[in-house]
Every structure is written in structure tokens, then in C-alpha cells.
Amino acid sequence: DSAFYRGTQDCLVAAAPYGGPIALLRNPWRKEKAASVRPVLDIYSASGMPLASLLWKSGPVVSLGWSAEEELLCVQEDGAVLVYGLHGDFRRHFSMGNEVLQTRVLDARIFHTEFGSGVSIVTGAQRFTLSANVGDLQLRRMPEVPVLQSAPSCWTALCQDRVAHILLAVGPDLYLLDHAACSAVTPPGLAPGVSSFLQMAVSFTYRHLALFTDTGYIWMGTASLKEKLCEFNCNIRAPPKQMVWCSRPRSKERAVVVAWERRLMVVGDAPESIQYPWRQLTIQVLLDRLVLRRLYPLAIQICEYLRLPEVQGVSRILAHWACYKIALLHSSLGDRDIRVVHLAGKADPGDPGHRDGGEDRSLGEEGQGPACCEFRPSFLASSSPGLPSWSLIPIMPHYPGPQATEDQMRLLRLQRRLEDELGGQFLDLSLHDTVTTLILGGHNKRAEQLARDFRIPDKRLWWLKLTALADLEDWEELEKFSKSKKSPIGYLPFVEICMKQHNKYEAKKYASRVGPEQKVKALLLVGDVAQAADVAIEHRNEAELSLVLSHCTGATDGATADKIQRARAQAQKK
């Protein structure tokens, strides 16, 4: 219970947008705290599930914030920014400039732009520095504010016209800093009597700005400070703890939520629409965030429900899951009894650009079986219930049954999608019949894609397409197909199929393209006995001569038979 009701007044708190993770760093740098007490960084999901907890071993932290990639940015007093992953893993660090070491950081803001996530700081010398994209760090020291002798009463970072700015308040005045100048700005229509701005908030899109004054008024307008939307008297002059933009439930009104110690107030009535998070993030980012949280089953269910391609969906998620499980095995077994086959290209199995090109991390087929034999007993003897099943993974390629089952499941999913998109009956057909049905339906490109996905050999695909097009009597498409590339099955099958369909005219087209070793047979199939005899005599092949002679009839092919007999006699004399 004490943990549940523990307050956060001594904590730095940062919540990621779109229901993302929440980070809490208990602040031990307060004067009443003992110097020996180490701070603890806790990371939770939005539903309160613990994701990570680690002792903070670095310097005092001024501010926390989440990047668009859900990396935690921790800004320290000395200007160093430490970057952590969702599960508390350290990623990298960078500095906000050498001059910060002397003047120290007083306050910091993490903001988001179309370029990425940025960091802005104000130092003890009342100078501002920012970087609009921490992924491509380019520090910009903002111009000096002449009237600023101490920390501003409030300030924020905003982005206008693809450029990051700093807006700050000094008493009753507002100043806008860009890379070149410091400009005084005045909000239009502001109620008189303001002597100080206590809080400011910019909307997530940087289109709107809210200002809270010491007179208890909230001014709402455009972030460019050129237009006033509305003004509201809160009748509370105490500075709020937090002020953020949002929308009212079931409406499209602009609204600002203002929070005090014991009061939450929503003000604003101007219309504006907002989009739901999943539409802004896209499905791919949603899946990435589920994988980042190791919610693999949920991510796979979403992929199957949306019927995403295997490479973009289930296969990629399973690759991440496998890498995570293998990492657990490494840590639990201490690398003593196991040799693990690394998964190259874990980010996207279909994208060779993600693979590690400097080192071949995969074992050959001949090495997979022995590797399994080495660690399989250790897996089976382990107390972990998940380990024995992992001992089967390296030997799966040596047993075709599981792969055949997986291929059949993949085919069933594809057949169901074909029925939804094309209509007709596909479910429970064999792979052979599925390809044939697609060709018969005129969906040649889909048939070729299916053949590539299931690695149907070229010879088999050509036979399937040949017989299907002949059954359709689509002779024009068959001729185009025969000329698409060199036939892996030769051209005699074309002659045979055309004659089977009683189309001698089409068969003769392909008889001329048949290779020398099958030329005689092709000519006989189309009934050209005389030319077949000439080819057989030219080849001086006794078997071919006998074959042609067997097709000669006394009434019509007497001259051809005599020619063959003379050729035989001459061959015997030689």
C-alpha cells in the first residue's frame, strides 16, 4: 500500500505521447536527502506494468523526456544527455556543448518536429541552446536576450516554417528566439494588467499557444501570436503545475487542460479536429512499439487480422521474438553448453540491408545438426519449461514435416485472401490446383507471384501454365508466354499440348522451335512426314529413320518411304 500511495513530488516524471511509457526518476539531489542515496529510474507502461528499474549512477538530472522512437532522454546538469531504451538499456550519450560545463543547465525541454526529436536547454548564463534532431546532432546556440538577468518565468520550444524557435517570458514581455535574432512579440487581444506570464503550452502540432498570466487569465491563440482564439478567466492566480492542449471527448473543440494541486480545469471552445493516435503513428509503428514491449502474440494477432504480408508482419515479429529468446538463453546458460545460430537480418528477414555484412554469422547446413546435438541434452535437463522446445529449432531443417505444415498454413491464409479479393473457390486446393485456377481465371501475375512465394520450380510452373492456357484455348497468350524467355521444358510439350487440343496450326508454330534432338518427333506430331524424313536423313540416325518410316502410308507417303530406303542403302555402302 505504501508503494501504491507513494507521491511523485520528489520525482522527475516523463510520459510519452499516445499512451506510451512513463519514466520516474526519484530525485535524491534535494538538500534534505542523504548524499549516499542513489536515485532509481523506473519505467512503466501506461497501464502501470513495470518495464525496467535501475540505479542512477550518473550526475544530477534536470529533465526527462521521450523521443518519437520511445527512447528516454535524460538531460543532466553538466549538459550530457543520456539515452535509454524502453527496457532500461543504455543506448548512447551526447553533449549539449562544452560551455555548459561551466554554467550548468537550469532547465530543458524535449520536443518533437517533422525532423525527429529535439532537445533545448537554458543555462545558468541565461543562454539557450537547442538541437532539432538528436539523431543528427547539430547544436545551435540561440541569440542572447538582453533583458534576461535570471531564469525566465516560463519558456517553451516550438517549430514554425520547419525551423525550431524558443519562446520565453520575461515579466510582462514575450521574446521569440530564432537562429539569427531575438524579437519581442505581443499576443493580440491580451487582457490588461498582466505583469507576468506564469505558464505556457504549445499544441502538439505547434499551431496553437496557451498563456497563463498572473491575473488568472488563459489566453489562447495561434503559435505565431498573430491571432487570438479566446480568453478565459480562471479566477485562480496560483501558477498551475501543468498546462497542455487536448480535445474534449466526442467533440472537435480546441481545449487546454490546466492542473493545480487539487483541481483540473478544461477551458476553450474553438472548433478543431484531431486524429486518433493509431492513424498518426501508422500500423507499422504500432507493431514496432508492440515488439518493443515484447508483446509478440498481440502483434502477430494484429498482423493476421489485417492480413499483412508475411515479410512485413508475422515473419519479422517472429525474428525479433527469436532474437529475444536466444538472448535469454545466453544469459541463463552462461554460454557454457550452447552454440547459437545467430539470426541475421532480425529487423526484416526480407531486407538484406539490415544484415551484418562484415561477418557471416550463420552456420552451414552441415553444422546445424551437430550444434543441436551438442546443446540439446542441456536444454532438456533445464528447469525452464521453455527451453526444451528450443532444442528442436536447429534440427527443424532436417525434418521436412514442420516446414510442410507451416507452408500449408501459409497457403490456406493466402487462399482465404484470394477468395475475399477475387471470389471463386480456392480454399483447400493444392498448390498445383491453386496456381492452375489463377491462370484459368486470367490472373497470370498473381499465379507467378504465388509460384515465387512457394518456390515452385520453373519447369513445373511452365507445365502448369502451358496446360492451363491450352485448356482455355488462349493461343495468343500462350504464344506470348512461350516468347517471354527460353523455355526450361523445351518446345516439344507445346506441340504435344496443341495437338491434344486439335490445333495443328498453333502446333506448327512451335515445331519449328523444337531442338534438333526432338525435331523429328515434333514434325511427325504435326503430320509433316516429308520434312521429318529430311531431318532424319540429315541426322543419319537409324532410330529416327525407322520412326519416320513407321509413319509412312503406302498411299500418300510412298515417295518419302523410298527416299528413306535409298538413304539407308547409301549408309550401308559407306
3-state helix, strand, coil in the chain (%, to 5): 35, 25, 40
pLDDT score recorded for residue 201: 94
Domain end, chosen from 370, 396, 422, is at 396
Amino acid identity of residue 351, one-letter, is: D
Q: Which CATH number characterizes residue 221's domain? A: 2.130.10.10
What does the chain come to in residues?
A: 574
pLDDT of residue 218: 92
* pLDDT exceeds cutoff 70 at 44: yes
Summarised one tens digit per residue, pLDDT across range 107-117 is 999 998 877 89
In the block, residue with C-alpha cell 544530477: 60
Q: Residue 500: inside a domain, yes or no?
A: no
**389: number of Cβ within 10 Å:** 10
pTM over 0.85: no
Which range marks the domain in which residue 483 is found?
399-489
Q: Computed over its alpha carbons, how large is the radius of gyration of the chain?
A: 38
Which of the residue ranges 82-91, 399-408, 416-425, 523-532 would you say has the lowest mean pLDDT? 399-408
Same domain (yes/no): 3, 76 = yes
User: Is 151 domain-assigned?
Assistant: no
Judged against a pLDDT cut of 90, whether residue 90 lies above it is answered with: yes
Residue 258 inside a domain? The answer is yes
Residue 391 sits in the same domain as residue 414: no
Query: Are 259 and 285 in the same domain?
Result: no
Q: State the Cα–Cα distance between residues 134 and 117, nearest whole angstrom.
A: 6
Q: How many domains does the chain have?
A: 5
Question: Looking at the domain assignment, is residue 462 inside a domain?
Answer: yes
Q: Is residue 504 part of a domain?
A: no
Cα distance between residue 136 and residue 334, in whole Å: 37
Q: Tell me which DSSP letter residue 337 carries.
A: S
493-to-441, 448, 475, 481, 488 alpha-carbon distances in Å: 22, 20, 14, 13, 11
Same domain, 97 and 180: no
Average pLDDT, whole number, for the chain?
80
Could you tell me if 318 and 292 lie in one domain?
Answer: yes
Q: Which of 315, 210, 324, 186 is nearest to 268 (CA)?
A: 210
Helix (H) or strand (E) holding 289: helix 277-292
Most confident listed range (6-15, 201-210, 335-344, 546-555): 201-210
More confident residue, 407 or 57: 57
Residue partners of 326: CB distance under 8 A and separation at least 6: 340, 342, 343
Answer for the pair 515, 497: CB distance below 8 angstroms, yes or no: no
Which of 219, 245, 274 corresponds to the end of one domain? 274
Q: Are residues 35 and 84 in the same domain?
A: yes
Asked if the structure places residue 509 within a domain, the reply is no
User: Is 453 found in the same domain as 410?
Assistant: yes
- Tens of pLDDT, residues 376-423: 444 444 444 444 454 455 555 555 556 677 777 788 888 888 888 888
Check residue 427 and give its pLDDT.
80
Residues 189 and 248 in one domain: yes
In terms of domains, do 326 and 224 share one? no
What is the spatial distance between Cα 312 and Cα 167, in angstroms, rounded to a whole number? 42
Same domain, yes or no: 470 and 426:
yes
Greater confidence, 400 or 342? 400
